[in-house]
Amino acid sequence: MDDNYLNVVMGIIMNAGNAKGLAHEALEAAKLNDFEKADQLMTESSQALAEAHNVQSDMLTKEAQGDHTEVNLYMVHAQDHLMTAITYQDLVKELITLYKKNMNFA
């Protein structure tokens, strides 16, 4: 396994992990009714997720061009992080929306 491959895997893992962590911080801010902070953190989370997704998209483009990427446990782990971060971010967006709606009824 070469350094470039590890950089790709770690790029996905780190950016997806950052995206998930920032989304969690946004949820905590929403619980405290700090929606400005929650929105800012979700913007940062989306940026980190876009970085992870860009790394994945580059890999997919190379694969389509015939440059095969080895799939091993590291890559599976990276993809797991990415998909979990995407799902968690989607859920947090919905929860923040609910917190905002509840504030209107308080």
Separation between Cα atoms, residue 65 and residue 14, nearest integer Å: 26
CA separation (Å) from 7 to 4, 21, 36?
5, 21, 34
80 is an annotated ligand-binding site residue: yes
Cα–chain center distance at 79 = 11
Rg, the chain, Cα only: 17
> Residue 76 is which amino acid?
V
Is 68 annotated as catalytic?
no
State the catalytic residue, choosing from 24, 53, 68, 77: 77
Return binding residues for Mg(2+): 80
Catalytic residues: 77
